[in-house]
Amino acid sequence: MIKMILDVMGQDAPASEFIRGAVDAVREYGVDMTLVGDEDLINDVFIKEDLSMEKIDVMNAESFITMEDGAMSVVKEKSDSSMNRGLKLLASGGGDAFLSAGNSGALLAGATFIVRRIRGLRAAFGATLPFDFPTLLVDSGANTVVTPADLVSFAKMGRIYCSSMYHRPDPTVGLLNNGTEETKGTPLQKEAYELLKSADVNFIGNVEGFDLTSGKADVVVCDGFTGNIALKTAEAVGRYASKSLEEALGRSVLSKAAALPLRKKLRETARRFDPSEYGGAPLLGISKPVVKIHGSADARAVKNAIRSAIYYVSTGVIYEIARNSSTLVYKDGAPVGKEKK
Amino acid sequence: MIKMILDVMGQDAPASEFIRGAVDAVREYGVDMTLVGDEDLINDVFIKEDLSMEKIDVMNAESFITMEDGAMSVVKEKSDSSMNRGLKLLASGGGDAFLSAGNSGALLAGATFIVRRIRGLRAAFGATLPFDFPTLLVDSGANTVVTPADLVSFAKMGRIYCSSMYHRPDPTVGLLNNGTEETKGTPLQKEAYELLKSADVNFIGNVEGFDLTSGKADVVVCDGFTGNIALKTAEAVGRYASKSLEEALGRSVLSKAAALPLRKKLRETARRFDPSEYGGAPLLGISKPVVKIHGSADARAVKNAIRSAIYYVSTGVIYEIARNSSTLVYKDGAPVGKEKK
């Protein structure tokens, strides 16, 4: 039986959304669940909303990490936080995956110091952009500064994740750049391009911001600074578009009865560019499944994130990544160094 | 009388779209116009489409810059190109602004070497994101690598452009970053944050990808690599959303008569996130108006770019920028260096 550990504290949304999402996931997917957070608060939600506690444990935590806390607080001043407790439970084998929508920096630090990385790898977030084809963006926000070899390692981890999770036999990998020509970009992209050409991935060259919706590459690699900007811009524009079109529909002269089926269709369409639809972003490179849930997730998004985390656990993506992690980086056929020191 | 110089070669769209856009602009705004490109091709379009040549000159050019040409080709091997000819005409006083939708790198190089920069400034593209409030993104693609002082200079140029073009008395300036906290970003953003705090701009701190649609800052500064990714991502998602919703409407069970007014409304809404709606992106920092038209512009977008270029010329933004260009960069109240060497 797969057991999920869910941090219900420290995110933007109320804990009740997270608890409802967890209850729904337990019912629909039959997993076991440990909720970590303020026990009184959690029990109150169960009573108030008359939810079933079947297959759900609660682990009390005295504090939680806020969005303002420094990344290292999770292992230092706030070692009694829900994030720390949940990660320790995962590390000690008390669950199969840990999910949190809290402070990303703290989640990265906690996962790195408590759960540990796979030897030789740097951890990176892999967010899925849910357009016509799922596109995995790695790193979508963990590391603001990376080396060219890191980008190769992100490509390899992304390839394995994408292949297992989205059933692509040989996922294509693109390097996010400011143009498609080989000579584009900063020194980082130029050097990474050379390394990716001879790396063991299906590298299709540079891709642009345009290609995040086109499905041109299954996996798009970039530093976490650029990935963060691209992801948040995509979300903002998607949300803006949905909102504008809802408004246009609201102002239209159609009768309510005529507008209803159309509104439903538009909402379905809008959902296609809602990042919460594809669940959470895994911290690739960590030795056990740690998943970041979207900051403004509701119960449905939490349930979706749990569903994809179940799949992440059961497909054994992490074992596959670990098996591939000691590969050397080649340049012109010769090994030029370890993927990551 | 204001005279525009329009390069009609080397862009993705056919020259005929550009010529029609120019003819429409001449008729609507009463400007004079010089079209630069293959004279025979241009004349053919006028005859075939039965367009009026009133107030329009044609300047012949033997070649044009392709998207594959290197940036320096415009001043070296292809000094007979339409881009070179047009920029030389601008530099020599034969027109008030030059517009092109061709190769951006060549446009930057050509503008820098033929028209010249304002002393002490680095040229940067300023693209306007057309959401509820126009947001000016500087640099939207000219310089992949910049210094913290460059970002201050982009902020100052952006402030002046935004104030004149969009009638903001004291435009707010945000630094595009991967979080709002002061400590966020790479060393570039951290250092720029410090400089911007004491610079003569209305600095409101870091802004995120989310804020490109929110209107939180009137001017958003970043390096041209990040700006390029953000701009293209925003465009891609906007276009994807429009397309999806058109399709949803097409599949809906509404009768054609009932769908028509709604379709019109949705199209109007879609236009609100179409970057071509706000015309071209000026190359701020160049001593005369040089404007990049959107790569996939149609006649309407060309006309809009000409309209905003007329305004760019007549408001005297460039003189204002030049007057402000020798300002020193201050840190903790002390001048720590020239804005740009």
pTM of the model: 0.91
* CATH code at position A195: 3.40.718.10
Alpha carbon of B250 to those of A205, A258, B261, B271, B333: distances in Å?
36, 15, 13, 18, 61
Whether residue B337 lies inside any domain: the answer is no
Q: What is the pLDDT of residue B69?
A: 93
Q: Would the CB atoms of A225 and B224 count as touching at under 8 Å?
A: no
Q: Measured between CB atoms, which of B186, B226, B234 is closest to A237?
A: B234
Q: Which of B275, B300, B315 is the endpoint of a domain?
A: B275
Contacts of B234 in chain A (CB under 8 A): 209, 233-234, 236-237
Distance from CA of B15 to the nearest CA of A (A): 23
Is residue B331 a part of any domain in this protein?
no
Does any domain span residue B221?
A: yes
User: Domain check: are B135 and B262 in the same one?
Assistant: yes
What is the pLDDT tens value at each position of chain A, 341 positions in all?
Answer: 899 999 999 998 899 999 999 999 999 999 999 999 999 999 999 999 999 999 999 999 999 999 989 999 999 999 999 999 999 999 999 999 999 999 999 999 999 999 999 988 899 999 999 888 899 999 999 999 999 999 999 999 999 999 999 999 999 999 999 999 998 999 999 999 999 999 999 999 999 999 999 999 999 999 999 999 999 999 898 888 878 777 777 766 666 666 677 777 677 767 766 666 667 999 999 999 999 998 888 999 999 999 999 999 999 999 999 888 765 454 554 544 555 43
Helix ranges (DSSP H) in A198-328: 224-251, 256-272, 299-314, 317-323
In a domain, A163, yes or no: yes
Letter for the amino acid at B33? M
| Same domain? A340 vs A307 | no
Residue A123 maps to a domain:
no
Identify whether residues B97 and B143 lie together within a single domain.
no
When pLDDT is averaged across residues B112-139 and rounded to a whole number, the result is: 92
Which residues span the domain enclosing B230?
129-275
Interface test with B, best of A135, A177, A240, A252 (most B CBs within 10 A): A240
Do A40 and A82 belong together in one domain?
Answer: yes
Q: Could you tell me if residue B339 is inside a domain?
A: no
Query: Is-cis flag, bond preceding A139, omega within 30?
Result: yes
Chains A, B: CB contacts within 8 A come to 171
A2 and A96 share one domain: yes
CB within 8 Å of B317: residues ≥ 6 apart: B160, B161, B164, B165, B282
Domain contains B222: yes
Residue B339 has pLDDT above 80, yes or no: no
Residue of B nearest to A229 (CA): B209
**What is the reported pLDDT for B340?**
47
Q: B57: Cβ–Cβ under 8 A, 6 or more apart, which residues?
A: B32, B33, B34, B35
Asked whether the predicted pLDDT for residue B252 surpasses 80, the reply is no
B201 and B270 housed in the same domain: yes
Please judge whether A235 and B209 are an interchain contact, meaning their C-beta atoms are less than 8 angstroms apart. Answer: yes
Q: CA nearest B56: which of B80, B15, B27, B83?
A: B27
- Do B22 and B99 lie in one domain? The reply is yes
**B150 to each of B112, B157, B264, how far by Cα in Å?**
16, 10, 43
Count of domains observed in chain A: 2
Tell whether B233 and B101 lie within a shared domain.
Answer: no
Determine whether the interchain pair A226/B229 forms a contact, defined as Cβ–Cβ distance below 8 Å.
Answer: yes
Same domain for A111 and A211: no
pLDDT at B231: 94
Q: Do B313 and B267 share a structural domain?
A: no
Mean pLDDT on B86-112:
97
Encode pLDDT of B266-318 as tens digits: 777 677 666 666 679 999 999 999 999 988 889 999 999 999 999 999 999 99
